[in-house]
Amino acid sequence: MASVAIMGFGTVGSGVAEVLTMNQAEIRRKTGCPVELKYVLDTREFPDSPFRDRVIHDFAILERDPEVTAVAECIGGCGVALEFTRRALAAGKHVVTSNKALVAAHGPELLELARAHNVNYLFEASVGGGIPVLRPLMFCLAGNQVEEIVGILNGTTNYILTKMLREHAAFADVLREAQRLGYAEADPTADVEGLDACRKICILAALAYGKQLPEDKVYTRGITGITDEDAAAAEAAGMQLKLLGRAFRAADGKTALYVSPHCVPGGHPLAGVEDVFNAILVRGNAVGDVMFYGRGAGKLPTASAVVGDLIDCLLHSEKRREIGWTAGSEADMADIAQQPMRWLIRTEAAKGAAEAALGQVQWVMKGALLTPPLPRARLDALQENGFSLLSMLPILD
């Protein structure tokens, strides 16, 4: 018999309890012993929940219980979640989580604490919901130099952009509908401004390149400025609009990473990823391109990843997984404004002026063109000098 606990009984936490219960027999087959959910830690009571008799309010109860081997932290944020994670690891308990904010902000400290106490800190659910991506990246692709990681990391914004292109609808209208359907939160800022995607690309880059870079220094552009004119221009160019998080090794050896809406050419594997689905493409120097696809959020998909991590801890409970990265700084980051990319640009400039400013361009419709590879700094300078730039979107090549 193995005992586990859940901290935080919201959407993900209650999903973890549900998966542990509905797949009890399967989990027992895999771990070789029954897995008991012993405690559910929350400030609230849940009188109608089948798990009401396991609810506790005092973290110290599970902290001091030697029977509890592993804990799923589903509280979220960097407040008590950080304190309880530190204390659980220090008490010799494995901790698994879906909390991307905590991993992105405190990953190195918590991984080091886990190492010091010979336990695991696992967080597969923090990127891509239920899609397996962190473990494959760490272990299956370990023989590669990762040349690039690029992904649709946020389901809410992918739903909005898919609808904008498919139905020629405006951003504000689609956002309202997404909120009505429960695909977007009442306060959608973290999703639509790209902050959620930014945390996820920081975690992916840390695993691929070994350094955790400061998320507040990452160039992050969300989708609130995307207009139906942008969508029409992308469509005319045979491209899809996708909010992408992207990390690659720049020419100077530093890590380039950023979040931005992109134009994705029609034949690209990411172009067909629609609605709330996520996908992450990894380019390794041996394997070439591999892609991971699935539902990047939602109660049971996210719980699936948390329970997978719990099972890994129980199955290998004396056998710590070696995961490590160290804290990096802005000095490890390449200047994104200097990386050459092709762009879809909308402009009021006349043909001659546009070609004089940008070089050999390709017009896709009146007022919209594709540029040759140019750094963003160059476009910014043109705009400062009075060149008409109604909008600019990088192209994923």
Q: Which residues of this protein are in contact with its own copies, per CB under 8 A?
A: 15, 19-20, 22-23, 26-27, 29-30, 124, 130-132, 135-136, 139-145, 210, 269, 272, 284-295, 298, 300-301, 303-308, 310-312, 315-316, 318-322
- Give me the phi and psi of 8, to 5 degrees please: 95, 110
Is 10 in contact with 291 (CB distance < 8 Å)? no
- Rounded to a whole number of angstroms, the minimum distance from the CB of residue 17 to its own copies is 12
One DSSP character per residue, 205-272 reads HHHHHSEEPPGGGSEE--STT--HHHHHHHHHTTEEEEEEEEEEE-TTSSEEEEEEEEEEETTSTTTT
- Name the token pair of 316: 């290998």
Give the DSSP letter of residue 84: H
Distances (CA, A) of 382 to 108, 327, 335: 41, 36, 19
State which residue, 170 or 300, has the beta carbon closest to its own copies: 300
- Name the token pair of 325: 């990265």
State which residue, 16 or 231, has the beta carbon closest to its own copies: 16
State which residue, 321 or 346, has the beta carbon closest to its own copies: 321
State which residue, 316 or 351, has the beta carbon closest to its own copies: 316
From 38, 93, 200, 242, the catalytic residue = 200
- Rounded to a whole number of angstroms, the minimum distance from the CB of residue 375 to its own copies is 28
- Rounded to a whole number of angstroms, the minimum distance from the CB of residue 324 to its own copies is 9
Q: Helices marked H in the chain — which ranges?
A: 11-22, 24-31, 59-64, 80-90, 100-116, 134-135, 155-167, 171-181, 189-192, 195-209, 228-236, 299-315, 351-358, 376-384
- Rounded to a whole number of angstroms, the minimum distance from the CB of residue 166 to its own copies is 13
Q: How many residues does the chain have?
A: 397
Whether 200 sits among the annotated catalytic residues: the reply is: yes
Residue among 313, 129, 288, 107 nearest 214 (CA): 107
- Rounded to a whole number of angstroms, the minimum distance from the CB of residue 34 to its own copies is 15
State which residue, 101 or 314, has the beta carbon closest to its own copies: 314
Residue among 200, 240, 201 nearest 336 (CA): 201
- Catalytic center residues: 200
